[in-house]
Amino acid sequence: MIRGVGWADGAPPPSPFSAVEVIAAKRDCRTLSKTQIDWVVDAYTRGEVADEQMAALAMAILLNGMEPGEIAHWTQAMIDSGEVLDFGDVGRPLVDKHSTGGVGDKITLPLAPLVAACGAAVPQLSGRGLGHTGGTLDKLEAIPGWRASLTTDEITAQLREVGAVVCATTPTLAPADKRLYALRDVTGTVESVPLIASSIMSKKLAEGTGGLVLDVKVGSGAFMKTLPRAGELADAMTAIGAAHGLPTTALLTDMSRPLGRCVGNALEVAESVEVLRGGGPADLVALTVALATEMLALADLPDADPAAVLASGAAYDVWERMIAAQGGDPSAPLPVAAHVETVVAERSGIFSGADALAVGTAAWKLGAGRARKEDPVQAGAGVRLLAGPGDEVRAGTPLAELHTDDADRLPAARRLLAGAALLITADPPPERDLVLDVRRGG
């Protein structure tokens, strides 16, 4: 549509609403109409609604919430701000997964090729890390030659030929969300459940998948610290999926401790390859298989056995083809940090585990993450845990390694992992429940 054509005297028609009117409605706890939502999202995308006005509306939504119908309408308006991808018939059922972010959460790397090896197609459009939570694209860019940006035609061809794609979102996918996400990050409104849910689901619905599994993290290393809060988010997202006809399942999973032993880009790639080759930490393998099982059920492939396929090596074959298709060399050595320092136990006892937030923040301080989206990351930086929960240790036993290219970063990371961050107790820790709850769309 070319704006201005047919307008009298070249002037646009008057807006049906004002930004102040919409802000005041939500400030006063009123339900926004579909027409109001459509207008304000479109006007903000076009620049008619200013950042400070949308910031005020976001804060009103954070404080006063939204009804399920409002959230569904808001999500649709975000989708309508850009294109909806159509991969056509790729010869396999399409199914995707999204994680709300955690520490050591490298699950996408083994999961996408595993689900593809079981017969589905996985169009995994992913993002970058911010703060203590890692980004899938940052991890994969540690592989020499691998590229994140693909055209829609390239994504479609790779889905047909390989069955799995992990890449950046296209520039025209939900552009309203890109603007609003950046604004929320600097206005204290990131934690709004309606805005988180609509942000995630608008991109996944615009992606054109046939089924979606959500990994909603709970605990110190997650955005949602408590099970009730994570359940609220899971329910909001599965309800959006149901309202838009997208079969959606949410697993609420533990993020009180890091997943696996490695946190950091190249370190996590190496650990993911271990899993794909039939090894790797038990918690990482278990959650990969649990999520794969749910994805295959939504893809109507319930008889597939992801645990057996993972053990067979078939998923590793898909991984090699997936990386090579995007210019990467799966056999190339991964980057190694210039400096490695060991953190040792301060006393004897039983290692009960590492606090996810402390480890994630330490990895970020070492250079594995970024404070702003435009910041660079170090491919080799991060934390490797050398002890697992339940291991007996003595004073001086190595518990973790700190990896960085900049030795000046080591003291801050070392301080973060002192004391209770690497917990040593007299008794063994309780068994860890990875999957805390499951929510399914209606």
**117 Cβ partners below 8 Å, 6+ apart?**
163, 309, 314, 315, 317, 318
Question: Is 184 considered catalytic here?
Answer: yes
Task: Indicate which residue of 203, 217, 384, 409 is catalytic.
Answer: 203
Token reading at 97? 């997964």
- Residue 177 annotated to the active site: yes
Q: Is 331 a catalytic residue?
A: no
Contacts of 268 (CB under 8 A, 6+ apart): 104, 106, 109, 134, 139, 260, 262, 382
203 flagged as catalytic: yes
For residue 439, the 8-state DSSP code is E
Q: How far is CA 173 from CA 169, 200, 410, in A?
A: 7, 12, 39
**Residue among 38, 45, 43, 46 nearest 19 (CA):** 43
DSSP for 174-222 reads SHHHHHHHHHHHTTT-TT-HHHHHHHHHHHHHHHT-S-EEEEEEESTTS
Q: Please tell me the distance from the alpha carbon of residue 392 to that of residue 394, in angstroms, as a whole number.
A: 7
Alpha carbon distance 59, 24 (integer Å): 11
What spatial distance separates the first Cα and last Cα of the chain, rounded to whole Å? 36
3-class state of residue 43 by DSSP: helix
Structure tokens at 187: 């206005």
Catalytic residue among 198, 199, 202, 272: 199
CB count in 10 Å sphere of residue 151: 10
Residue 331 burial (CB < 10 Å; 0-12/13-18/19+)?
Answer: exposed
Out of 26, 92, 98, 439, which one is annotated catalytic? 98
- The answer to whether 99 and 252 have CB atoms below 8 angstroms apart is no
Strands (E) in 234-293, as ranges, are: 248-254, 262-263
Q: Residue 110 is which amino acid?
A: P
The residue annotated as part of the active site, out of 92, 132, 184, 261, is: 184
Q: How many CB atoms lie within 10 A of CB 140?
A: 25
Evaluate whether 116 touches 202 at the Cβ level (below 8 Å).
no
Interior/surface letters 50-72, b for 16+ CB within 10 angstroms, e for the rest: eeebbbbbbbbbbeebbeeebbb
Which active-site residues does the annotation give? Answer: 98, 177, 184, 199, 203
